[in-house]
Structure 1
Amino acid sequence: MSKIGVHSFVWSAGSSRDELERTLTRSHELGYKLVEFSYLDPKLVDVKWLASRIRDLGLDVAVSMGLPSEGDISSDDQSVVANGEAILDRAVALVRDLGGTKLAGILSSSHGKQEHALSRKGWDTSVSTLSRVADRAKEAGVTLNLEIVNRFESNMLNTAAQGLAYIKDTGASNVFLHLDTFHMNIEEADVGLAIRNAADKIGYVHIGESHRGYLGTGNIDFAGIFDALVAIGWDDYVTFESFSTAIVDKDLSLKTAIWRNLWDDNVALARHARQFIELGLETARLKAQLVKNAHAPSA
């Protein structure tokens, strides 16, 4: 069985106890092993209760986020950078307190379309700031997974190769890439080759379709992606991410330009996605065996 996760926004953009409980139980019932939450404010959510429910259901948990413009750690304004560093520290603490090990998302700069090119100073400021966060995250048992996103959502890390250069500059052992097929489909020369090239620095994977809807109904070459994941021996989580106007988070829906209703029935969507990923990875494994295994005639 593959390790497959689901983003909570498939179920709900809310954070009431009832909504969180429904997210956990539906994910568990459909065979998902991890639930990914966008950052939850501990002042508004009972973190101890949520951590206990996650444990009760035998689930793993990840947290993703995008830094706001007022917390951009690549900024020239040191007060903005300091605010971003504090935001990241709080997110690390949330992951730890929920019993997780992965903080993912747009952690190196603010999330959203930028009106200027990144400067060398901005790169260096981001690297040094994230390095400090990584040191503290290491003590908390948390990895930082830098999401590589398309040009309309960041001006810093748009390809896996850029992410590898950034990780090298941090010198941190607990900073990895968060790869997302939706973004890679826009920016990479070849998604499969990019996965192979980044193999040992991948920490988290998002599976999403080119239009964010049902897997297999867009133009992404999932067979090639699953082949690459099998080829590098990927045995960690792949998490399904999908957005529709059926479920709206005001902030994220605007930043990711979710203007169309790509599905209404989230149970059918999530069931299909888990089966699609499971079968895709299993097929890739069978292909790899056929390529590698040759048998002499038996008689």
Structure 2
Amino acid sequence: MNKLGVHAFVWTEGWTNNDAAKAIGLTAEAGYDLIEASAMDFGAFDVEFTRKVLEQNGLGVTLSFGLDSTQDVSSGDPARVRAGEQRLMDGVALARDIGATHVCGILYSAFQKYSVPPTPEGIKGSVDVVRRVGEKAKESGITLGMEVVNRYESNVLNTAAQAVEFVKRVSLPNVKVHLDCYHMNIEEADVAAAIRDTGNNLGYFHTGDSHRGYLGSGSIDFSKIFRALVAIDYQGPITFESFSSKVVGQPLEGILGIWRNLWEDSRDLATHAKAYTEVQLKSARESIANPGRSRLN
């Protein structure tokens, strides 16, 4: 059974102790299984406090972040590759310390818009780094998720097929593909087919509508998406991600182009997303498990 999660940025823009207590408490109150903490600043995490509040609320946790231009492991520049590898290792250590099961995000390049395509040498260097980091993560039972993002946020992994090839090159059981509805809606010709083709390489999944507002209020066909997830028997986390300028602020507001207030009430947004996800999963499971109900006996 999939564990359902919600991104911390639905609740708060940072991870001070007050932020952590608020985000964790509200996530548990909404009935989720886990919270995805975003680590833009590792130093903001009070590890002991975070673990304590998670335990008090009976909540699981995953961790997500990206690399900046000075840490670009796909750049081919030795100094930046070393800096990126250290950042990734630090992220895995933080995930271990707070009890996270997954580390996801743009872990294979910088989180930025590029003006040139990646080089084969750069991709090889990225694969090598992720393999070393993956070996370290495996020691703590942590899965790494290579998030497939749109062309304006990376030039390395923009499609599920690229990510599958990447994780096969890494060739570690705990390095998986991380798919996201919002990004797939931009880049994939057939989102459901991309999910099915990813198959057992899928290790983490983000829901989010085309405008990053309420699920079902945009242009994405979630029925096809959830049927594809059920068809491949995906059992990993499904985490809802949404951003509004009301919450995130700068610098994320500028990085992601969050110029509009798509929602005002975090509680209502998160509660709706969980209910919507559960209904879609139930419908998808019924459609696949009971196809014979419409047949003539």
Sort the TM-score into its range (normalised by shorter chain).
over 0.9
Distance 1:186 1:59 in 2: 32
Distance 2:182 2:116 in 1: 24
- Change in CA separation of 1:212 and 1:295 when aligned onto 2, cut-off 3 Å: closer
Q: Is 1:257 the counterpart of 2:254 in the alignment? A: no
For residues 157-194 of structure 1, the C-alpha deviation after alignment (integer angstroms, 9 at most, x for no partner) is: 00010001111111222110110000001111111111
Answer whether contact 1:209 1:219 (CA < 8 A) is retained: yes
Give the deviation of 1:45 after TM superposition. Answer: 2.6
Distance 2:295 2:189 in 1: 36
Q: What's the counterpart of residue 289 of structure 1?
A: 289
Distance 2:294 2:257 in 1: 49
Distance 1:123 1:43 in 2: 29
Q: What's the counterpart of residue 114 of structure 2?
A: 114
List aligned pairs for 1:264-275, cutoff 5 A.
264-275=264-275
Q: What's the counterpart of residue 58 of structure 2?
A: 58
The aligned length equals: 297
Q: Is 1:7 the counterpart of 2:16 in the alignment? A: no
- The one-letter amino acid of 2:142's match is V
- The one-letter amino acid of 2:93's match is A
Give the deviation of 1:42 after TM superposition. Answer: 4.8
Answer whether contact 2:196 2:231 (CA < 8 A) is retained: yes
Instruction: Judge which range, 226-235 or 178-187, deviates more.
Output: 226-235
Matched residue SS, 1:115: coil
TM-score in terms of structure 2 length: 0.96
- The one-letter amino acid of 1:5's match is G
Q: What's the counterpart of residue 17 of structure 1?
A: 17
Instruction: Judge which range, 252-261 or 198-207, deviates more.
Output: 252-261
Distance 2:54 2:292 in 1: 40
Q: Is 1:280 the counterpart of 2:272 in the alignment? A: no
Answer whether contact 2:246 2:261 (CA < 8 A) is retained: yes
- The one-letter amino acid of 1:74's match is S
TM-score in terms of structure 1 length: 0.95
Distance 1:162 1:42 in 2: 29
Distance 1:193 1:203 in 2: 17
Q: What's the counterpart of residue 126 of structure 1?
A: 126
Give the deviation of 1:152 after TM superposition. Answer: 0.6
Distance 1:94 1:269 in 2: 29
- The one-letter amino acid of 1:85's match is E
Distance 1:55 1:23 in 2: 14
Q: What's the counterpart of residue 27 of structure 1?
A: 27
Q: Is 1:185 the counterpart of 2:185 in the alignment? A: yes
Distance 2:87 2:218 in 1: 35
List aligned pairs for 1:100-111, cutoff 5 A.
100-111=100-111
For residues 86-116 of structure 1, the C-alpha deviation after alignment (integer angstroms, 9 at most, x for no partner) is: 0000100111111112000000000011011
Structure 2, unaligned runs of 5 or more:
none
Q: What's the counterpart of residue 37 of structure 1?
A: 37
Distance 2:50 2:215 in 1: 29
For residues 110-144 of structure 1, the C-alpha deviation after alignment (integer angstroms, 9 at most, x for no partner) is: 00110111111111111111111111111122111
For residues 28-82 of structure 1, the C-alpha deviation after alignment (integer angstroms, 9 at most, x for no partner) is: 0111111001116453331012112112211110000111111000112101100
Q: Is 1:231 the counterpart of 2:262 in the alignment? A: no
- Change in CA separation of 1:104 and 1:194 when aligned onto 2, cut-off 3 Å: same
Matched residue SS, 2:109: strand
For residues 223-271 of structure 1, the C-alpha deviation after alignment (integer angstroms, 9 at most, x for no partner) is: 0001111111122210000011111242322221111110111111111
Matched residue SS, 1:215: coil
The Cα RMSD (Å) is 1.5
Q: Is 1:72 the counterpart of 2:72 in the alignment? A: yes
Matched residue SS, 1:177: strand
Give the deviation of 1:292 after TM superposition. Answer: 4.6
